[in-house]
């Protein structure tokens, strides 16, 4: 069996590694258009904060290591340009036949209203191919604009203000981090952003970017000049290459069935190339997260290796630290409650981190009014909340009720926990789904 995988990021590499183990007789090819594989999406943040000091560290695995530790043939600096029957057409004229094909081409940041195709003062941070040029421009920059106040944009804004830059942050929505957090959970971060000197422009769609002796940004409300503009808007897949041969969804993602098989026999798609099921509402949606890339790679690998497996979808767990606050979210948010078919109850709580740490953990829980089943959780604190986020993710995945969550046995040490239960209801509200 000959398996071809297009895309050398998290989804593609994990699929290749899993199939290497599950199909010892298979011939596996991994195609990547860049000259390196395994790019870490947050690498620019890691460089700015000196958590990595070498650009080589921006890749979590190399072509050489992958080939040395497996039977995988890695073809870099080669791009797929089409499909003809059971062959992948490459940009160098080669044809690569396959028995099974996996499309794992990921996503990218783009800005359609950028006037110059190759700008000197406007950069995306999704790809590491331009880091050398970007670092040189940033070193000379004083005033920087960041477009997009999602996870990447908020992270960049904090990094840049720490470096002493003047930072303007633009977001077309009415709040930061809107995909994962409700407004009240972002308030502590907003307060810290304001104190730091960041200028935040909410409800402001950037309409035009121009690159003329610096960057020119035009929104609905202003025209401003910057030494540098960084694109941190949400990523999208570009599946136009497959439009003539594979069915696409209206949003440009590749249509797949429950087994992540496309409309074409023996062709699968995973990761950021597709929509996945958001489990609290059973809706199909585009969710660009590494955990989705890894899960969908596992699903397809099991199916190809002889164990047909359905993708169960995601509860969308995310977590990070911004401006001194650890934040996490999983499952349904309050702003999404109207997509849920039954009544939803919200519970707000706060607890000490431990008996020896008086910092507070602020929780927002969403439960099904009829079943008392936990369907969403958000939390923030100045101390790490990620262990609790993991617990709440498992609770939601396993469809625990609040009573089951409270009865779950956990270790106790005064340095790390209080004896209080997270079921102490401080306040609550109910909503019709």
Sequence ranges of the domains in the chain: 2-108+236-304, 122-231, 324-431
Tell me if 71 sits within 8 A of 28, measured CB to CB: yes
CB neighbourhood size of 324 (10 A): 10
pLDDT score, position 425? 44
pLDDT in tens, 288-325: 999 999 999 999 999 999 999 999 999 999 999 999 99
Q: Measured between alpha carbons, how far is 276 from 257 in angstroms, rounded to an integer? A: 10
pLDDT score for 49: 93
- Please name the residues in contact with 73: beta carbons below 8 A apart, sequence gap of 6 or more: 27, 28, 29, 30, 67
Do 324-431 and 122-231 fall under one CATH topology?
A: no
| Whole-number Cα distances in Å, 375 to 19, 343, 365 | 34, 11, 8
Low-confidence residues in the chain, pLDDT < 70? 112-117, 409-433
- Element (DSSP H or E) covering residue 402: helix 402-407
pLDDT of residue 427: 43
Show Cβ contacts of residue 413 under 8 Å, excluding neighbours closer than 6 positions. none
* Matching CATH number, 122-231, of 3.30.200.20, 3.40.50.2300, 2.40.50.100, 3.50.50.60: 3.50.50.60
Phi and psi, residue 349, nearest 5°: -140, 160
Which pLDDT value is given to residue 116?
Answer: 56
CATH of 324-431, one of 3.40.50.10110, 3.30.9.10, 1.20.120.530, 3.30.390.30: 3.30.390.30
| Structure confidence at residue 426 (pLDDT) | 41
Distance from the Cα of residue 114 to its chain's centroid: 24
CATH architecture, range 2-108+236-304: 3-Layer(bba) Sandwich (3.50)
Please give the Cα distance from 29 to 338 (Å, whole number).
45
């Amino acid at each position: 069996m000959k398996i071809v995988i297009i895309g050398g990021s998290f989804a593609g590499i994990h699929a290749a590694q899993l199939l290497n183990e599950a199909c010892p007789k298979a011939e596996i090819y991994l195609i990547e258009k860049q000259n390196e594989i395994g790019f870490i999406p947050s690498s620019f943040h890691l460089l700015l904060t000196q958590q990595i000091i070498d650009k080589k560290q921006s890749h979590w695995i190399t072509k050489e290591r992958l080939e040395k530790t497996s039977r995988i043939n890695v073809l870099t600096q080669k791009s797929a340009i089409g499909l003809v029957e059971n062959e992948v057409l490459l940009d160098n004229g080669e044809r690569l036949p396959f028995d099974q094909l996996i499309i794992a081409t990921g996503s990218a940041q783009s800005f359609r209203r950028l006037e110059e195709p190759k700008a000197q003062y406007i950069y995306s941070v999704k790809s590491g191919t331009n880091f050398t040029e970007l670092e040189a421009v940033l070193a000379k920059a004083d005033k920087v604009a960041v477009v997009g106040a999602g996870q990447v944009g908020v992270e960049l804004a904090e990094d840049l203000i720490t470096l002493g830059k003047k930072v303007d942050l633009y977001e077309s929505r009415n709040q930061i981090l809107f995909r994962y957090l409700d407004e009240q959970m972002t308030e502590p971060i907003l307060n810290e952003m304001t104190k730091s000197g960041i200028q935040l422009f909410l409800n402001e769609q950037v309409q035009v970017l121009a690159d003329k002796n610096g960057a020119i940004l035009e929104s609905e409300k202003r025209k401003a000049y910057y030494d540098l503009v960084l694109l941190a808007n949400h990523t999208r897949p570009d599946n136009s290459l497959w439009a003539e041969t594979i069915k696409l969804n209206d949003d440009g993602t590749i249509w797949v069935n429950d087994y992540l098989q496309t409309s074409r026999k023996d062709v699968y798609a995973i990761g950021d190339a597709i929509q996945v099921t958001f489990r609290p509402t059973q809706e199909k949606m585009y969710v660009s997260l590494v955990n989705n890339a890894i899960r969908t790679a596992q699903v397809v690998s099991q199916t190809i290796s002889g164990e047909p497996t359905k993708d169960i979808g995601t509860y969308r767990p995310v977590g990070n630290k911004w401006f001194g606050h650890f934040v996490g979210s999983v499952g349904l948010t309050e702003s999404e409650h109207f997509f849920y078919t039954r009544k939803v109850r919200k519970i707000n709580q706060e607890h000490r981190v431990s008996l020896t740490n008086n910092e507070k953990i602020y929780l927002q829980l969403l439960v099904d009014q009829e079943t008392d089943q936990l369907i969403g959780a958000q939390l923030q604190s100045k101390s790490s909340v990620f262990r609790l986020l993991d617990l709440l993710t498992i609770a939601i995945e396993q469809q625990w009720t609040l009573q089951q969550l409270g009865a779950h046995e956990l270790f106790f040490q005064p340095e790390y926990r209080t004896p209080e239960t997270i079921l102490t209801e401080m306040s609550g509200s109910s909503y019709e789904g």
